[in-house]
Amino acid sequence: MTNFNRPALPAGVRTNGASTSPWWANAVVYQIYPRSFQDTDGDGLGDIKGITRRLDYLADLGVDVLWLSPVYKSPQDDNGYDIADYQSIDPMFGTLDDMDELLAQAHKRGLKIVMDLVVNHTSDEHAWFQASRDKNDPHADWYWWRPARPGHEPGTPGAEPNRWGSYFGGSAWQYDPKRGEYFFHQYSPKQPDLNWENPQVRHAVYQMMNWWLDRGIDGFRMDVITQISKRVDPNGKLPGETGSQIEDYPAGPDGYSSPFPFCSDGPRLDEFLKEMHREVFDGREGYLTVGEAPGVAPQRNEQITDPAARELDMLFMFEHVDIDCENGTKWNPTPLDVPKLKRTLAAQQDAVAKKGWVSLFFDNHDQPRVVSRWGDDSTEENRVHSAKALAMLLHMHRGTPYIYEGEELGMTNAHFTRLDQYRDLESLNMFRQRVEQARIQSAESMMDALAKRSRDNARTPMQWDDSTYAGFTATDARKEPWISVNPNHTTVNAQAQQDDPDSVFSFFKQLIALRHNNPVVSAGDWHLLDESDPQVYAFTRTLGDERLLIAVNLSGKEARIPGETEAALTAVGETPDIMLTSYDPQHSADSLAARTLSPWEAVTVRL
């Protein structure tokens, strides 16, 4: 564990209902996707030594915590989220010695390291799963095994235990000839779900978590942790199984029903999380736990992250990144509805107004680049202004902000035009299922959707400089990067931005410093203004006598400052105290005087 070299919140400031302010209340987390961050050995894949090499850059940015996507031993079917050995580093990333050196060097710079914890499922190459293929092995009940549907030949179409489909396409059941049964996988067939109903599974997971914490890591980001508890009937049968007392939902146009309603925020989730806290975190200090929470409503976030519950510190909520998905699928993207975004984020903020905490994010390894998604990357000017506007909007909310690698540079979507440019398992599988098998979407429509929403948009190499491979790997490396570098790296890169006071990078540094040094940003009350305005997203932050107004024009057109926001501005007088702006102070002072905001203008004013 490590201490920070930045101001801590005053002890008397209420943050999430805890009696004292938790250290992470004014922290900023930076997510690293290791295979795309920095390659040091020329194999086209990022590695742990590359992360260590770039620690000074991260310290200069001002972040406090580094979250690493999985670096464990893995077949890499889903880029490491299919773990074959939790206590080994995959050779593509390095060694345990490299990991220990990263921890030492990060801690020396006041940076904490949080590792990804993927325990809803493992790889099918994990020793636990291989042992479970024998019905007589002690691990036989460590996964969700089921026989074929009665009256059907095992392994043939229609013999699956129920009609559930995988989120990555195809059936959620895979037949194993060795065992003569099917195993359940919400994701890839190479990612079988662990059976958390079995206490031996939970004990093994907790033992592994303690091993890593004892080694010196500072916490865990828990992948789809709210899916570890499945809904079963009194006889242990899943919905839709023969003889189950729980009915399944109807199949969709692709021929499958969804396991999501029955595998998200299940009946034993709180029990499992409380047990995890007791067995792993009680008696420890300085750690961070954040859970990826698909299917969890804001009100449940308040319950799970209430310090009195002793479950998790914070959750990633997903309603706001689903608002531009038509009919519940991201493969039918729709334009941003600003009032809907306000209502969705307001629900998250309001739920934790008295207790609990929320994670703040737009970008991550599963989301497209927000500057391309909700901003405007059509011109350099619009890219810079919209990247800054979206950053201010996010970071000035109450909660812990998460920056995804390259977001601080305003990195954009890849803008791929051919299917063979994609590497993402989900993208390739869904193209095959939706276009070639179910024929519910045209190839042209699906390619457009991939260009806008594929996870690969976030996974192109980090853009360090304008060299051939963007500084991700050497220009004479023996292998090209595992996925193509975005061509705009010649203008959008860290080297060009670090010493530029008007860059997106410099703006992020100011945002982070604002949070570190002003308790009102971290802990102040949050209040939305002008909920229905289609362009301006405005809110106030209040702590004691200090009050801030944040106003963001989320459009490429000039916006009139709406009524409630205009009324709040009456307190600033003729010389507003502008703390931060996405343009320049004089421009924003003129904008406020005229009661307008320029395209993508964002401003924070002290009232």
Distance of CA 606 to CAs 400, 547, 548, 573, 576, Å? Answer: 21, 6, 5, 11, 7
Q: Which amino acid is at 44?
A: G
How buried is residue 386: exposed, middle or buried, by Cβ count under 10 Å (0-12/13-18/19+)? Answer: buried
List 223, 241, 377, 456, catalytic entry: 223
Radius of gyration of the chain (CA): 24
Structure token digits, residue 404: 């995804």
| Per-residue exposure over 176-215, b if at least 16 CB sit within 10 Å of its own CB, e if not | beebebbbbbbbbbbbbbbbbbeeebbebbbebbeebbee
Structure token digits, residue 196: 């958390």
Alpha-carbon dihedral of residues 164, 166, 170, 173, nearest 10 degrees? -60
* Pick from 337, 334, 325, 260: nearest CA to 293: 260
Phi, psi angle pair for 581, to nearest 5°: -145, 150
Distance of CA 323 to CAs 103, 164, 341, Å? Answer: 38, 24, 7
Query: Could you give the CA distance from residue 457 to residue 344 in angstroms, rounded to a whole number?
Result: 24
Structure token digits, residue 118: 């993927």
CB 538 within 8 Å of CB 551: yes
Q: How far does Cα 197 stand from its chain's mean position?
A: 27
The percent of the chain in helix, strand and coil, each rounded to the nearest 5, is 35, 15, 50
Q: Residue 495 half-sphere exposure, CB side, CA atoms within 13 Å?
A: 12
List 292, 302, 324, 533, catalytic entry: 292
Query: Could you give the CA distance from residue 110 to residue 570 in angstroms, rounded to a whole number?
Result: 42
Angle at 9 between CA 277 and CA 405, to 5 degrees: 70
Query: Could you give the CA distance from residue 71 to residue 203 in angstroms, rounded to a whole number?
Result: 22
Structure token digits, residue 1: 């564990």
Q: Is 223 a catalytic residue?
A: yes
Distance of CA 514 to CAs 6, 59, 66, 288, 523, Å? Answer: 12, 16, 19, 22, 12
The residues carrying an active-site annotation are 223, 292
